[in-house]
Amino acid sequence: MPFSLDKAADRYDVIVIGSGLGGLTTAKRLSYCGHKVLLLEFHHQLGGLATWFKRKGHIFDVSLHGFPYGMVKTCKKYWTKEITQSIVQLKNIVFDNPQFSLKTTFDRLDFTALLHQKFKIPQLTIDRFFATVAGMNFYDDQTMTTRELFEEFFPGRSDVHRLLMEPITYANGSTLDDPAITYGIVFSNFMNKGVFTFEGGTDKLIGLMTEDLERNGVTICTSARVDRIIVEKGQVRGVEAGGRTITAPAVVSNSGITNTIQDLAGRDSFSSDFLAKADAIRVNNSSCQVYIGLKPEAVIEEKGDLLFTSTAPVFDSSELLDLHTRSKTFSIYYPKTRPGHDRHTIVASMNSRFDDWSTLTQEAYDTEKQALIARTLVDLNRYFPDIESKIDWLEAATPKTFNRYTLHTRGTSFGTKFEGLAVSRALFKEVGGLFHVGSVGIIMSGWLGAINYGVIVANDVDGYVRSL
């Protein structure tokens, strides 16, 4: 069980601020390497955006919508067998929009068949496209945008662009105007074997990770908000939290990269050159969600695990971000995905801009929130007729909600755009002992990206601490 802050010692080898999947993984790897680690989380629950909440007998998963097969290898190497064995495939991915309706396993084999048979794309073009995206590396040329990539292979085919892009926009918040590599790397990861989920839900995963960290000797404190990272003469000295000073030669922030620089370490800790790069970081967009719980006796037909739906005539990155977007995903959680629990829940997710919600008056905000729920029910009714009579819980989250629980700048739910990665990686070269882990650069986001980035950063931290 996590402790309160007063149980923490005065000195550690490494302090990790924030317990998102990146922070948890960095803490795990560093304890495995033999370091004395303190993990501080401001919320009363661990997991960051990998979170859940309980209402009226329901458990709602906030960000468990599907991750690539690579998660199996990653959890096997960096976490436990029990975690790895709970990863199961989501086999029914549905697309439904004015341009096409189809069901797929969302892997290369099935997508190749769909593109060839349904969309009449020549086999050679499909093979060349897959080879191109599979060969992309994060250090490659970034000048080509995803829009240009699609135009090169599928000119004028807005339906194909939609099929290829829509799911990735929901997965990492990228748009047609972001570097093509941010699309290609993530898309290829999914195309490997399809979409997977964690059987038992986010609460089970985070529970297992917490147990594993405790077995490895990590001190975990919840409801422990860090006020400041102490930097003296260009070196990290520790943190201030709850009126205490806790020292460590290395501090890893799993807060947002912009929060880390602006709020935790403070601008005075950095050179003007570095600040110029940090100030140029664009945070990614945020999200809206509607959480729908069904009555205990309610039964619904299996219509798919993940539904990408839209009534917008064509795919348009800015339409997906609009306050009144007509595009949303439905994640359907059948009782089988949470063994021992017999309730159906549905989570509708939309991408959204923080400023569209933060600038509203309280009255307008409440009205928009109700309208969001109403639109969602109209859309859901197309797949599950008479769904309203089966619902016993309805609640919505907006970018302001994401901001409140994660403290992320402008409630970003997908970290930063591409330039955030270089700043995150260079942080410890600017301030000795200061590291950042978290969603940056689009590619280091999502559950798999966050965990793998946690391993990459742990390697930097271990190398640094051992060189002291």
Partner 1 sequence: MTRDEIKDLILEIIKDIDEDADFNTLQSDLPLRDQLDLDSMDFLDIVMELRKRHKLQIPEEDYPQLASLSSCVNYLEPLLKNI
DSSP secondary structure letters along 400-449: HHHHHHH--GGG-SS-B-THHHHHHHHHHHHSBTEEE-SSBTTTB-HHHH
Q: Which of 56, 77, 282, 336 binds partner 1 (CB under 8 A)?
A: 77
Any idea which residue has 């401001």 for tokens? 42
Any idea which residue has 């640094």 for tokens? 464
Give Rg (Cα) of the chain: 22
Provide CB contacts within 8 A for 436, sequence distance 6+: 252, 253, 254, 257, 260, 424, 427, 457
Provide CB contacts within 8 A for 194, sequence distance 6+: 69, 89, 90, 91, 93, 105, 106, 107, 110
To partner 1, the closest distance from the beta carbon of 25 in angstroms equals 12
Q: How far apart are CA 376 and CA 328, in angstroms?
A: 8
Nearer to partner 1, 59 or 451 (CB): 451
Q: How many residues bind partner 1 (CB under 8 A)?
A: 14
Q: Which of 19, 31, 51, 74 binds partner 1 (CB under 8 A)?
A: 74
Backbone torsions φ then ψ of 424, nearest 5 degrees: -60, -45
Residue 33 binds partner 1, judged by CB under 8 A: yes
To partner 1, the closest distance from the beta carbon of 237 in angstroms equals 23
To partner 1, the closest distance from the beta carbon of 78 in angstroms equals 9
To partner 1, the closest distance from the beta carbon of 462 in angstroms equals 6
Q: Which of 7, 10, 34, 57 binds partner 1 (CB under 8 A)?
A: 34
Nearer to partner 1, 149 or 458 (CB): 458
Any idea which residue has 């992309």 for tokens? 136
Nearer to partner 1, 283 or 423 (CB): 423
Count of other CB atoms within 10 angstroms of residue 39: 31
Nearer to partner 1, 35 or 343 (CB): 35
Contact assessment for residue 416 and residue 284, using Cβ atoms and an 8 Å cutoff: yes
To partner 1, the closest distance from the beta carbon of 337 in angstroms equals 28
Q: Which of 215, 404, 429, 466 binds partner 1 (CB under 8 A)?
A: 466
To partner 1, the closest distance from the beta carbon of 235 in angstroms equals 19
Within 445-464, which residues bind partner 1 (CB under 8 A)? 452, 455-456, 458-459, 462-463
Q: How far apart are CA 202 and CA 127, in angstroms?
A: 36
Q: Which of 28, 29, 344, 436 binds partner 1 (CB under 8 A)?
A: 29
Q: Which of 131, 233, 467, 468 binds partner 1 (CB under 8 A)?
A: 467
306-335 CB burial, b ≥16 within 10 A, e <16: bbbbbebeebbbebbbbbebbbbbbbbbee
In DSSP terms, 17 is beta-bridged to: 40, 253
To partner 1, the closest distance from the beta carbon of 458 in angstroms equals 8
To partner 1, the closest distance from the beta carbon of 200 in angstroms equals 25
Q: What does the binding site for partner 1 look like in residue numbers (CB under 8 A)?
A: 29, 33-34, 74, 77, 452, 455-456, 458-459, 462-463, 466-467
